Amino acid sequence: MDQSLLTNIQVVLVEPQHPGNIGAVARAMKNMGLSRLVLVNPPENFRGQEAVRMALNGADILEKAQTFSSLEAAIAPMGLVIGTSCRPGKERFPVYTPREIVPRVLATARTNRVALVFGPERSGLCNEHLDLCHLLVRIPSSEAFPSLNLAQAVMVLCYELYAACAQESIPPASCMVPADTVQVEQMYADLQDFLLQIGFLDPQNPQRIMRALRRLFGRAGLTSREVSILRGIIRQVRWYSERGHQTATRSRDLGTERLPPVETTAEDAKG
């Protein structure tokens, strides 16, 4: 069985509260062949007795866990970020089951790093955290009490990934390079500024539409080149509206170059 892909998949716990849960997460990861644990603002004693007791043979994962002070920093180099929630609101759709998401996670993990993001025990991931995720997963569970224990939720996702690897049902690598989170966030910032400028977004609540766009692009799985093209289009439209249609037409008639879009070659813009 080829487990090497699992090393490209990391579990990110955002503001976990209980060291015992963090230890239990390390154990679940060890059981299922994952090894990279990332903690965003963990409690001080996250490597203490309680955590080590719950981690058992996963103590090495706890020992090597990386810590960050923001989710944004923790996921910066990731090609795919999967958020988890037991109660997605109406703006958070579509939501996948763990089994549905596995092919995309493993295909991406062949060439890139993937983050599985889990929220704090008390409140779960907030909207700002969920906005940073490309896709959302909900573990089907009883309506009477849908919220799983943090480590058990981690276990369900890790199990599905391990089982797919064990069955050798790993999709082939995609030849496309996913954009990393930093590039994608820069694009959203450009897009939001631009859509505010043209009056498309409600300045009181720009996130309503921005969230829908994030879901759309998250589903599409943008490549680095596609992000450059989209940013180039935004820049070109801005330039066109500021400098006037005439200038653009004249430069085309004269066969002169258009404004080169940001980080985009002329070839990219045509393609």
Among 124, 218, 232, 261, binds ligand SAH (CB under 6 A): 124
C-alpha radius of gyration, the chain, whole number: 21
The verdict on 85 binding ligand SAH (CB under 6 A) reads yes
* Token reading at 120: 């704090």
Residue 10: which H helix or E strand, with range?
A: strand 9-14
The verdict on 195 binding ligand SAH (CB under 6 A) reads no
Among 148, 176, 182, 248, binds ligand SAH (CB under 6 A): 148
Among 46, 118, 162, 217, binds ligand SAH (CB under 6 A): 118
- Helices and strands (H and E) in the chain: how many: 12, 7
In the complex with ligand SAH, the residue whose CB is nearer, 147 or 192, is 147
Q: In what order do the strands lie in the sheet with 9-14?
A: 66-68, 36-40, 9-14, 114-118, 80-84, 135-137, 95-96
The verdict on 41 binding ligand SAH (CB under 6 A) reads no
148 DSSP assignment: P
In the complex with ligand SAH, the residue whose CB is nearer, 121 or 193, is 121
The verdict on 261 binding ligand SAH (CB under 6 A) reads no
The verdict on 12 binding ligand SAH (CB under 6 A) reads no
Please state, in angstroms and as integers, the Cα–Cα distance from residue 243 to each residue in 194, 239, 257, 258, following that order: 16, 6, 15, 12
> In this structure, which amino acid lies at residue 61?
I
Residues of 80-93 as b/e, b for ≥16 C-beta within 10 angstroms?
Answer: bbbbbbeebeebbe
The verdict on 42 binding ligand SAH (CB under 6 A) reads no
Among 125, 155, 158, 170, binds ligand SAH (CB under 6 A): 125
- Rounded to whole angstroms, the Cα distance separating 138 from 157 reads 10
The verdict on 150 binding ligand SAH (CB under 6 A) reads yes
* Token reading at 48: 């203490």
Question: How many residues are recorded in the chain?
Answer: 271
- Rounded to whole angstroms, the Cα distance separating 145 from 72 reads 30
The verdict on 146 binding ligand SAH (CB under 6 A) reads yes
**Which among 60-68, 82-90, 216-224, 239-247 is the span making contact with ligand SAH, rule CB under 6 A?**
82-90
The verdict on 86 binding ligand SAH (CB under 6 A) reads yes
Determine the residue with CB nearest ligand SAH.
119
**Which among 32-40, 72-80, 81-89, 241-249 is the span making contact with ligand SAH, rule CB under 6 A?**
81-89
- Rounded to whole angstroms, the Cα distance separating 141 from 138 reads 9
In the complex with ligand SAH, the residue whose CB is nearer, 85 or 236, is 85
- Shortest distance in whole angstroms from residue 117 CB to ligand SAH: 7
- Shortest distance in whole angstroms from residue 29 CB to ligand SAH: 14
Distance from chain centroid for Cα 154: 16
Residues that bind ligand SAH (CB under 6 A): 84-87, 118-119, 121-125, 137-139, 141, 146-148, 150, 153
